[in-house]
Chains A and B, each alone.
Chain A
Amino acid sequence: MSAEIAGVVGFLAMVGLMLVGMPIAAVMMGVGIVGGMLAFGEAFFVSTASIAWGTMSENGLTAIPLFVLLGELLLRSGMADRMYQAFAGWFGRLPGGLLHTNIGCCALFAATSGSSVATAATIGTVALPSLQRHGYRMSDALGSLAAGGTLGILIPPSVNMIIYGSMTNTSVGKLFIAGIVPGVLMAGTFMLYIWAKAVIGREPLRHESVPLAEKLRLLGNIAAPLFIFAMVMGTLYMGVATATESAAIGVVAALVLITTSGKLKLELLTGCFLSSARTTGMILLVVLAAFVLNLALSLTGIGEALTKWVTGFGLSKTQMLVALIGFYLVLGMFMDTLSMMVATIPLSFPVASSLGVDPIWFGIFIVIMCELGLITPPVGMNLFVVQGIRPDRGGLEDVIRGALPYAVIMILFTLLLIAFPQIVLWLPGQM
């Protein structure tokens, strides 16, 4: 059996096992160890030992538990919940009204948290009752929340970027900075769509204007999350701190803010610690498994053979990227995004770099593909989350219909990034 065939069969078997509900980490680790040992015997297992220690003691990956902990602290202290009021005051008068608030709020929330379930669930719980009272069409409301929530992994900090960075030896700091412009632009295109839809559909304005003094007072609600974002991104951008260090600074800043506002309680900390330990354990076991699998792929030469096979089709860079959009669109319909990312990077990254795609740019591309996977049916985590919190009764098809335009926007946006890679690369180039 040639290496390409072994690779393709192995990949399909792996995806099949994942789809019937086998634990993702166990599948990847199992395929990696069994494959590697079939080829090299015990020697392979000995090399996994040094990979395991190398991965699990890599200070760069320490950023994952730290950012997860930071997100939990902001969430559980209630800082995130109060942001909604501020945004409602500022954006309520635009055509499309509170739908803009959903996007803006998700974007800022995303800036402090890496979890899309938490983003969509929190903003959704605060927003949906008020959207319903003001008579917004449910599918529009649900769609904007599902799509807005996906910004969580594009706007830094982002756990997905840390994983991509460590798997491909790309600077996480540069990836974070590279996510800012596309993140803000994508939020902007979402809002543009909402505005255009409201103007074309002649939808009435539903909100009275809020007095300026009130608006200014409401700004106080976003001061804390903005301060933390500025601390984390500022130290990173100015080169004062690495990604891991900036995460630690964020944790300290959050703890200080929570303590000074008198909210620091034992049960708050227990909740934060328990929840961040679970999330971290889940992420890192998959990452560790991916490293073992990656080792097997590179030592057996299957990875290289697959790269050669794919590049052998002779597609140009642009054609290949468009083909990859299709590949990730289909895979993302069925797979959880984290698993999809770690399982495919060992194959797609070498293909992309052999065609001269910039590694930072490709990281942003992969993250947007993950975002797309979060809102494409039948398996789209964010679709399920907003469906689960809607206050009225209705089918999942409302959510799917509401989110579909955003999926189209994301694909068009990715094509824009292919045409103008500088949108991604300009800001990190200034560092």
Chain B
Amino acid sequence: MKRLETLGAWLFGATFVLLSFAVAVEVTMRKVFNVSLQGVDELGGYSLAIGSGLAFALALVARAHIRIDLVHERLPRGLRIVLNLVAVLSLAATAAVLPVMAWFALSDSISMNSTAQTPWATPLRWPQAAWFVVLAVFAAVAVGSALRAFGFALGGSTDRVDHEYGPKGTREELKEELADIEARGAAAIAGELR
């Protein structure tokens, strides 16, 4: 799991780092030599479509999709567990709808032979097929996560549903942020101050 997460993160990161270099070259060429590579904008759009699908899945695994914990943490345990189950189900449903939308867009592009309104005139079926695949991955991860939660609930491990599927409170988020700060040695810098 950890390895898949790292792989996904690298795919995401490499996409945008490569895009950044392409854009930097494009801007330099355009301003200094008055020549445009053309199509870097389009590439940026496709990078976003594919990168965001990956990002949805990575955010889900890290429980980063926003939930407000104001009322939730004050509710009785039983109700919290029920709400967590509804929440994980609603995310799975949302995630499952996305590849269906992508499929509609893709099958439309295939039947109409649509191309992008750009100098490249890319046949839209290619980027949209990739987009469909990453959204299907997100849907699979979300449905898997929901099944796991219901498995815990039915198997009697309600504690895990309570703890592993609740909104990520500020406390937890802060703990991660502070672990990062620790890791990069900011505390040592604080120590150097008079």
Contact = CB atoms under 8 A, between A and B. Distances in A.
A29 B59 CA distance: 17
Contacts of A130: 190, 193-194
A248 B17 CA distance: 8
Given A78-B186, A125-B186, A285 B174 contact: no
B133 to A, nearest CB: 14
B29 interface: no
Contact of B27 (A245, A251, A335, A384): A245
A274 B58 contact: yes
B35 interface: no
Given A58-B45, A129-B190, A20 B71 contact: yes
A49 B104 contact: yes
Interface stretch (B5-13, B147-155, B156-164): B5-13
B67 A23 contact: yes
Interface string B176-192: 01101101111101101
B121 interface: no
Contacts of B192: 85
Interface in B80-136: 83, 86-87, 90-91, 93-94, 97-98, 101-102, 104-105, 108, 127-128, 131
Given A18-B68, A26-B90, A339-B68, A240 B31 contact: yes
A11 to B, nearest CB: 16
Given A52-B105, A338-B66, A339-B68, A281 B60 contact: yes
A8 B8 CA distance: 41
Interface string B44-77: 1111110111111111101011111111100100
Contact of B97 (A29, A85, A118): A29
B23 interface: yes
Nearest to A16: B71
Contacts of A33: 97
B19 interface: yes
A235 B27 contact: yes
A56 interface: yes
B171 to A, nearest CB: 6
B177 A121 contact: yes
B181 A122 contact: yes
Contacts of B65: 23-26, 281-282, 285
A22 interface: yes
A21 B174 contact: no
A289 B98 CA distance: 10
A249 B178 contact: no
Which of A20, A21, A247: most chain B CB closer than 10 A?
A21
Sort chain B's interface into a size bin: 35 or more
B189 A81 contact: yes
A48 B97 CA distance: 10
Interface in B2-37: 5-6, 8-10, 12-14, 16-17, 19-24, 26-27, 31
Given A235-B27, A248-B24, A125 B187 contact: yes
B97 to A, nearest CB: 7
A277 B171 contact: no
A382 B23 CA distance: 35
A19 B59 contact: no
A84 B181 CA distance: 14
Contacts, number: 271
Contacts of A52: 98, 101-102, 105
A155 interface: no
A252 B27 CA distance: 12
Contacts of A381: 170
Nearest to A221: B189
Interface stretch (A102-110, A264-272, A311-319, A412-420): A264-272
A336 interface: yes
Contacts of B52: 56, 65, 280-281, 284, 288
Contact of B59 (A81, A285, A388): A285
Nearest to A383: B170
Contact of B94 (A29, A334, A338, A385): A29
Contacts of B127: 57
Interface string A20-48: 11111111011001000000000001101
Contacts of B62: 278
Contact of B170 (A29, A125, A241, A388): A388
B66 A282 contact: yes
Nearest to A381: B170
Contact of B55 (A22, A284, A384): A284
A282 B24 CA distance: 27
A388 B174 contact: yes
A26 B105 contact: no
Contact of B90 (A23, A48, A85, A384): A23
A22 B87 contact: yes
A69 interface: yes
A240 B27 contact: yes
A38 to B, nearest CB: 16
A53 B131 contact: yes
A278 B57 CA distance: 8
A235 B193 CA distance: 35
A284 B184 CA distance: 28
A21 B67 contact: yes
A274 B10 CA distance: 8
Interface string A129-153: 1100000000000000000000000
B13 A278 contact: no
Given A118-B177, A388-B174, 6 more contacts: A21-B166, A24-B67, A26-B91, A81-B184, A277-B59, A282-B59
9 contacts: A24-B65, A58-B45, A129-B190, A280-B55, A281-B57, A284-B56, A336-B66, A339-B66, A379-B68
